[in-house]
Amino acid sequence: MAMAAILAMLVTCVAMISLPMILGAVFESGDGNGVKDNPSLSANSGGSLGITKSDSANQKVWRAGEGASPGSGTSTGSFTPATGSGGGRAGAAAGGLSEGFYGSSCPQVETIIEQQLRVILQADIGQAAGILRIMFHDCFVQGCDASLLLVRPTTEQTATPNNASIRASSLRALDTIKAAIEAVCPGVVSCADTIVLSTKIAVKLSGGPIIPMRTGRRDGLSAASNQTVVNNIPPPTLNITALKQNFQNQGLDSRDLVALSGGHTIGRAHCRFVDPQITPTISTDLNTAFALNLSRICLPANNSIKARQTTHLDFITQNLFDNSYFQNVLSKVAIFHTDAALTNASDTLQLVQLYAQNQPLFFQQFSQSMIKMSQLNILTGQQGEIRKKCTTPNQYLNA
Ligand code: HEM
| Rg, Å, the chain Cα set | 20
What are the angstrom distances between the C-alpha of 161 and each of 35, 165, 234, 276, 326?
A: 20, 7, 9, 16, 24
What are the angstrom distances between the C-alpha of 110 and each of 181, 197, 378?
A: 9, 7, 20
Distance 382 CA to ligand 1 centre (A): 32
| Lowest pLDDT segment from 24-28, 251-255, 354-358 | 24-28
pLDDT of 9 above 80: no
pLDDT digits (tens, 9 = 90+) for 13-54: 333 334 444 443 423 333 233 333 323 233 333 456 756 554
* Residue 12 belongs to some domain of the structure: no
Check if 384 has its Cβ closer than 6 Å to any atom of ligand 1.
no
Ligand-binding site membership of 314 (annotated) = yes
Distance 91 CA to ligand 1 centre (A): 24
Distance 113 CA to ligand 1 centre (A): 23
What would the 3-class secondary structure string for the chain be?
Answer: CHHHHHHHHHHHHHHHHHHHHHHCCCCCCCCCCCCCCCCCCCCCCCCCCCCCHHHCCCCCCCCCCCCCCCCCCCCCCCCCCCCCCCCHHHHHHHHHCECCCCCCCCCCHHHHHHHHHHHHHHHCCCHHHHHHHHHHHHHCCCCCCCHHHCCCCCCCCCCCCCCCCCCHHHHHHHHHHHHHHHHHCCCCCCHHHHHHHHHHHHHHHCCCCCCCCCECCEECCCCCCHHHHHHHCCCCCCCHHHHHHHHHCCCCCHHHHHHHHHHHHCCEEEHHHHHHHHCCCCCCCCCHHHHHHHHHHHCCCCCHHHHHCEEECCCCCCCCCCCHHHHHHHCCCCCCHHHHHHHCCHHHHHHHHHHHHCHHHHHHHHHHHHHHHCCCCCECCCCCECCCECCECHHHCCC
**Which residues are designated catalytic?**
137
Distance 167 CA to ligand 1 centre (A): 11
Check if 90 has its Cβ closer than 6 Å to any atom of ligand 1.
no
pLDDT digits (tens, 9 = 90+) for 261-319: 999 999 999 999 999 999 999 999 999 999 999 999 999 998 889 888 999 999 999 99
Check if 262 has its Cβ closer than 6 Å to any atom of ligand 1.
no
Which of 186, 180, 183 is closest to 197 using CA atoms? 180
Ligand-binding site membership of 264 (annotated) = yes
Check if 65 has its Cβ closer than 6 Å to any atom of ligand 1.
no
Residue 117: its pLDDT value, please? 98
Ligand-binding site membership of 143 (annotated) = yes
Residue 284: its pLDDT value, please? 97
Check if 387 has its Cβ closer than 6 Å to any atom of ligand 1.
no
The rounded distance, in Å, linking the Cα atoms of 302 and 299 is 8
pLDDT digits (tens, 9 = 90+) for 97-147: 998 899 999 999 999 999 999 999 999 999 999 999 999 999 999 999 999
HSE-up of residue 193 (Cα within 13 Å, Cβ side): 30
Those residues with Cβ within 8 angstroms of residue 162's Cβ, 6 or more apart along the chain or in another chain: 137, 148, 156, 229, 233
Top mutation candidate among 133, 229, 322, 366 for ligand 1, by most atoms within 8 Å of CB: 133
* Residue 15 belongs to some domain of the structure: no
Distance 10 CA to ligand 1 centre (A): 28
Residue 36: its pLDDT value, please? 31
* Residue 11 belongs to some domain of the structure: no
Range of the domain at 343: 21-396
CATH code of the domain covering residue 99:
1.10.420.10
* Residue 191 belongs to some domain of the structure: yes
Other C-beta atoms closer than 10 Å to the C-beta of 257 total 26
Q: Considering the chain, what is the average pLDDT of its residues?
A: 83
First to last CA, the chain: 66
* Residue 183 belongs to some domain of the structure: yes
Which of 285, 251, 258, 270 is closest to 354 using CA atoms? 258
Q: Residue 78's pLDDT band (boundaries 50, 70, 90)?
A: very low
* Residue 100 belongs to some domain of the structure: yes
Mean pLDDT of 172-191: 98
The rounded distance, in Å, linking the Cα atoms of 356 and 339 is 13
* Residue 131 belongs to some domain of the structure: yes
* Ligand 1 atom having least distance to the Cα of 237: 5
* Residue 1 belongs to some domain of the structure: no
Ligand-binding site membership of 199 (annotated) = no
* Ligand 1 atom having least distance to the Cα of 273: 10
* Ligand 1 atom having least distance to the Cα of 135: 29
Check if 161 has its Cβ closer than 6 Å to any atom of ligand 1.
no
CA-proximal residue: ligand 1, atom 2 (nearest): 234
pLDDT of 87 above 70: no
What is the count of structural domains for the chain?
1
Check if 338 has its Cβ closer than 6 Å to any atom of ligand 1.
yes
